Amino acid sequence: MTALTILLVLVLLLVVFGLLFRLQILTSIFSGTFTRDIGMSNSVNAILMLVFLVVGGAWFAYSFVENFNKMNPPIASVHGHQMERMFWITMAVIGVAFAITQTLLFVYSYKYQHKDGRRAYFFAHNNKIEVIWTVIPAIVMAALIFAGWKAWTRITGPAPKNSVVVEVMGKQFNWLVRYPGRDMKLGVVNYRMIDAVNEFGFDLSDKSALDDFTTNEIHVPKGVPVLIKIRSRDVLHAVYMPQFRVQMYAVPGMPTRFWFTPTTTTDEMRARLGNPKFNYELACNQVCGGSHFAMKATIIVDEPDDYQNWYAAQQSFSQKNPEVLAALKQKPKSLVSQSVEPTEAKEVAPAPLAASY
């Protein structure tokens, strides 16, 4: 306690001495006796401003060109082209504005560096300039927002009736994937039933859940709309599929959704990239904890016939885990009746592709 008191006293003394020194300078300025030698440092800093503008701009341009392909993976969805176009239009607008403002900032810093005897011109106000730099950005921003709103409402709105439905649930630190069975409905889930085996919380007292199945990787058919129903079991995650230009938050307690149509199979993309080991990826791009880096899942885009064969070969969760169904029958009815179904899960899942062909 004594040491802390001494430390506080020393800090207060430094503050007092600083204020006294500042007061002395202000007194000298008002009395006209204060002078300061600018020296060469001001000119050096002004020149360095221009050097930073040129060198920094050149380095940015080189880095952008060198890493362009890494930042822009090939597009493999129908809506991805529109999203890409909107992105680059936005980047062009803000890029031009950024280049102009930063160039003026550094050039003006050099041009209007301090010189003895030169006084700054005081420009009080100009209504025309105020209107121009307020109205033009407002119009541009409104146009960009309107275009984005139209695209966003379409891809997050009702999916086509022939969509394949996949439910994805994020948890620390992996993705759980569920498909509806041949009854074309996702069954209800109950968080009270979640355990090491029943990670999704299947409530097998609901007949619609009996034929639902889970997988370690996501399979979707080429050329068919895919509706991704998204949930989180614990913290905020994000469903991110870069090649499909898909990104949507997985929010605890708030189901979200996103639909897209894949246009390129995994084999076609491997041939296109010349990389036989390529796989589409579902990643979490929200830092969700210590093992966030491990939240990845493989996405396989199949030809429609291959997808049908894969779908038909899947076993339901209840078939793989008969002990879960047996244990449920032994539980008190009062517990079973408390099953909770998320809002999104109440929707009837459209027919799987295997049933629509």
Tens digits of residue pLDDT in 62-85: 999 999 988 889 999 999 998 898
**pLDDT, position 344:** 42
Q: Each residue of 215-231: pLDDT tens digit?
A: 999 999 999 999 999 99
Residue among 71, 298, 54 at smallest CA distance from 174:
298
The two tokens of residue 56 are 């920094």
Residues 230-263: tens digit of each pLDDT:
999 999 999 999 999 999 999 998 999 999 999 9
Superfamily name and number for 164-330:
Cupredoxins -  blue copper proteins (2.60.40.420)
Q: What stretches in the chain show pLDDT beneath 70?
A: 29, 32-39, 328-357
Q: Is 339 helix (H, G, I), strand (E, B) or coil?
A: coil
Name residue 302's beta-bridge partners. Answer: 221
What tokens does 39 get?
């020296």
Burial of 227 (0-12, 13-18, 19+ CB in 10 A): buried
**Would the pTM count as exceeding 0.75?**
no
For 102-171, the DSSP string reads HHHHHHHHHHT---TT---------HHHHHHHHHHHHHHHHHHHHHHHHHHHHHHSPPPTT-EEEEEEEE
Measured CA to CA, the distance from residue 175 to residue 234 in angstroms comes to 12
Residue 163 burial by Cβ neighbours in a 10 Å radius (0-12, 13-18, 19+): buried
Residue 182 confidence (pLDDT) = 85
pLDDT for residue 105 = 92
The predicted pLDDT at position 123 comes to 79
From CA 181, how far away is CA 316, in angstroms rounded?
7
Q: What is the DSSP string of 245-258?
A: TEEEEEBBTB-EEE
Strand partners of residue 284: 239
Residue 37: per-residue pLDDT: 64
pLDDT of amino acid 329: 64
**Domain segments of the chain as ranges:** 38-114+127-156, 164-330
Looking at residue 1, its pLDDT comes to 72
